[in-house]
A and B are shown apart, each in its own frame.
Chain A
Amino acid sequence: MGAAAGTDTGMVVIGAGQAGLQVAESLRAEGYEGPVTLIGDEPHAPYHRPPLSKAMLCGEAGEEQLTIRGPEALERKGIALVTGVAVESVDRAARRVRLDDGRVLAYRGLAFATGSRARPLPVSGADLDGVLALRTLDDARRIAAALEGAERVVVIGGGFIGLEVAAAARKCGRAVTVLEAADRLLARVAAPPVSEFFATLHAEHDVVLELGAAVTAVEGASGRVSGVRTADGRLHPADLVVAGIGILPNTELAEACGLTCDRGIVVDACARTSDPLVVAAGDCTARRGGDGLLRLESVQNAVEQGKSAAAALLGKERPFTAAPWFWSDQYDVKLQMVGLSAGHDRVVVRGSVAERRFSVFYFRDGALVAIDSVNRAPDHMLGRKLLDRAVVVTPEQVVDEGFALATLVR
């Protein structure tokens, strides 16, 4: 790319998703005036990914509405957006990246925001027509189109993506079966009361839930899917299969150029990699911390690491240490989560599960570590403060609805 301001070769951001966009815009917000190039391999300007598994599947939101920042708005900020182009290689010694359209860009600072991809189904038949995964806008387009003609949908995976797709498919009036290998839904992220709540919720919406269901094969005829076989020998008929079995961080490019990677591009709290000129942000990272490596797959992580990464490229320290938060929308239920519940030894419920308004508070060695809130936004927003400030909360205070937890953060 041409005219660098003076001798500044500029900043290059690989990946134009939520994290990459944040790096580019935060560079400007921090006052950087040199060239900024944002490179995305998808053919779209940066867009919001969360609605892909929700409003987008039922035609409730058009594609244009998902745009985070239009090309014109980026141009006004002096951010050169390159779409539909992948980075082929990075030469850290020469400080250059090579694009698959033949261009070579020099950089003074480089950010990896390469994101992640859907974990492929490791069984035979995964390549049949009608077997889809959800990660990109184009994936959502394919699933939305397939839903229109589908009668029976099988969702593989009872995590956030799988359950949101199941809810959307029910909204479209399709028959839905969810196959989950674990003995409860959301097993990786939530406690049993939350899992049970969502199992009941989906059953009430006539979703067939199969727990402990290990998928052995996807079956079909003439190249098209006809069903999913589970280890108990049963065939679950389907004309559309959506797999939501997790994601894999895109670390190949970083590994190829010798950056330290371990289930993600390893970064510190300031988003710095093993190369002082290179930062990384979002799904592609694994952050070093007190408890080892932390992989977060969330909007908040993309945004906060993006801000940290931009600051780091300009020689500033802006650590991201806030409690992680996540959310999921299914039917008319909003689940909001803050903190990390792994390793908890006590669970306390505040509110009423029957009335669909409750929060599960997780304690570890007597300290609050996480809160999952179902239709209780105030608990969630308060929880962010409680966790970020390491406020002492007791299980007794949590169960006592008469006790206003808000008084603890004033």
Chain B
Amino acid sequence: MAKVTFIEHGGAAQTVDIPEGWTVMQGAVRNGVEGIEAECGGSCACATCHCYVEEEFLDRLAPPSQTEEEMLDSTASERRTNSRLSCQIKVTAALDGLVVRLPEAQS
């Protein structure tokens, strides 16, 4: 389990326990975190699970695949250097305490 904190665009925060091996997106939607749509269910096909990863965790993540890179160019809210698709972030013990901020819009 890793604790992951989601901070909505409006500032509301929700911390959820996510099992290792799950994606950050899966933990978010199951627990009803507002601000993650994840229409495609984790196929990296819709760019509606966009999040901004707190800088200190960035280098603990596997780098984005080419498809994720390309989909990140099409997010509804601005892409930043710490932008990732939460369906492509696999939870590991090293990510315990992860904080991600959610963009204003996903679609």
Contact = CB atoms under 8 A, between A and B. Distances in A.
Contact of B39 (A51, A70, A303, A381): A303
A49 interface: yes
Contact of A54 (B31, B43, B70, B73): B43
B30 A51 contact: no
Nearest to A60: B21
Nearest to B68: A377
B30 A69 contact: yes
A381 B73 contact: yes
A68 B32 CA distance: 8
A312 to B, nearest CB: 20
A73 B32 CA distance: 5
Given A375-B67, A377-B67, A74 B32 contact: yes
B95 interface: no
Interface residues of B, number: 22
B44 A334 contact: yes
A62 B91 CA distance: 14
B61 interface: no
Interface string A367-408: 000000001111001100000000000000000000000000
Interface string A56-87: 00000110111111101110110000000000
Contact of A65 (B22, B44, B45): B22
A405 B22 CA distance: 37
B70 A66 contact: no
B73 A70 contact: no
Given A329-B43, A381-B74, 14 more contacts: A48-B41, A51-B41, A51-B42, A51-B43, A65-B22, A66-B41, A68-B29, A70-B30, A73-B32, A77-B32, A327-B43, A334-B67, A377-B67, A377-B71
- Would you list the 10 A-B pairs with minimal beta carbon distance, nearest first? A73-B32, A48-B41, A381-B74, A377-B70, A327-B45, A50-B41, A70-B30, A67-B30, A65-B26, A378-B70
Interface of A: 48-51, 54-55, 61-62, 64-70, 72-74, 76-77, 299-300, 303, 327, 329, 334, 336, 375-378, 381-382
29 contacts: A49-B41, A51-B41, A65-B23, A66-B41, A67-B29, A67-B30, A68-B29, A68-B41, A69-B29, A70-B30, A70-B32, A72-B31, A73-B31, A73-B32, A74-B32, A77-B32, A303-B39, A327-B40, A327-B43, A329-B43, A334-B44, A334-B67, A376-B70, A377-B71, A377-B74, A378-B73, A378-B74, A381-B47, A381-B70
